Chain A
Amino acid sequence: MTGDAHVFDRTTFDRQLGGDRALALQILQMFIEDCPARVAAIKRAVEEGDAGALQTAAHTLKGSAGYLAAAFVVEAAAELERIGRDGRLADAPSAVNRLERAVVQLMPEIERATLA
């Protein structure tokens, strides 16, 4: 089964890494380890009403997800980064939901990619 390229674009991911399989595995493992803490940092910043911390945490997740070519997570994190930068914290909860949905879709895809 081929996953949705907007969830995880395997072809772009491999091309961005120059076809280095060992590096690809390392990056996928790092993302699996780091992603829960990144999402938790975003939720904590929203709960605490800290726009600056939200912008930073969302920026980092956006960067990591970019290397995975995980478009949905990138878009949701970019939206949260903008919300943090503009201080529009009222818009944050729905954007956090969108991010969590994207992450739930992404994780099984990259788990599968580590086994392939």
Chain B
Amino acid sequence: MAKPREECIKVLVADDDRIAAAVLAQTLSRWEFDVTVVGDGAEAWRHLEGVAAPTLAVLDRMMPGLDGAEICRRVRRDMPSANMYLVLLTSLGRGEDVVSGLDAGADDYVTKPFDVDELRARIQVGVRVVTLQEKLSQRVSELQAALTNVKQLHGLLPICSYCKRIRGDDQYWQQVESYIAARSDAQFSHGICPPCYEKLEVEIEEQRRKMRPRRPQ
């Protein structure tokens, strides 16, 4: 059964030759990609910098408006952290296009007319790379979040010498246990330590004594 569209990886196909575009679109759709086809470089660029940008793009090296290599250059310059795999379509025997295309920021190239098996193998490499990249960014975000918490607990904490409350970033003084609990996975169970117990016992005894009715003289 075919995957729902939202679960498919988005691919942009940009080629001014409608035959090449049809072959690519049909082939990629059969492999369960969510394919968008455009006929010129300017439109391709609009898609790539849009909010619902594709993860993979197959761009013709020679196109009216912006050519494929120029699009790669712009993606790498203007969106350096974008997780985007760019494949250039080049003509057979144009070795210089391959070199300049890879220099411009393309991840790979396919020679036209491409062989379906070769295209599939190269697109699979792209999928592997973007998936790995996505997992890595996710892990980095998790680690950064964890690191922020650790920093807060290791930083300089203003603490009241008498009541032991801690002043938080919001300038409010709070109990040491609630401060730590909010910034770590620690949980507290409350009790009384022996030295405090001894002190407390003395205090309680004193209170009792004070409260005892005095004997009439």
Chain A residues with a Cβ under 8 A of chain B: 15-18, 20, 23, 26-27, 30-31, 34, 56, 59-60, 62-64, 66-67, 69, 78
Contact = CB atoms under 8 A, between A and B. Distances in A.
B78 interface: no
Interface in B111-132: 112-117
Given A27-B22, A30-B22, A64 B116 contact: no
Contacts of A59: 62, 91
Given A18-B30, A63-B17, A64-B17, A26 B22 contact: yes
B178 to A, nearest CB: 63
29 contacts: A15-B115, A15-B116, A16-B113, A16-B114, A17-B23, A18-B116, A20-B26, A20-B27, A23-B22, A23-B23, A23-B27, A27-B22, A27-B23, A30-B18, A34-B18, A34-B19, A60-B16, A63-B17, A63-B19, A63-B20, A63-B112, A63-B113, A64-B19, A64-B20, A66-B113, A67-B20, A67-B23, A67-B113, A78-B93
A23 B93 CA distance: 27
A18 B92 CA distance: 20
- In the complex, the 8 A-B pairs of residues with the closest C-beta atoms, listed nearest first: A66-B113, A18-B116, A64-B19, A67-B113, A23-B26, A63-B17, A30-B19, A60-B17
Interface string B12-51: 0000111110110011001000000000000000000000
A107 to B, nearest CB: 15
The winner among A31, A60, A78 for most chain B CB atoms within 10 A is A60
Interface of B: 16-20, 22-23, 26-27, 30, 62, 91-93, 112-117
A63 B21 CA distance: 11
For A26, A56, A64, A78, the residue with the greatest tally of chain B CB atoms inside 10 Å of its CB is A64
A26, A34, A60, A63, most chain B CB atoms within 10 A: A63
Nearest to B116: A18
Contacts of A64: 17, 19-20
A16 B19 contact: no
A15 B113 CA distance: 12
Given A30-B18, A67-B20, 19 more contacts: A15-B115, A16-B113, A16-B114, A16-B115, A17-B27, A18-B116, A20-B27, A23-B27, A26-B22, A27-B22, A30-B19, A30-B22, A34-B19, A59-B91, A63-B113, A64-B17, A66-B113, A67-B23, A67-B113
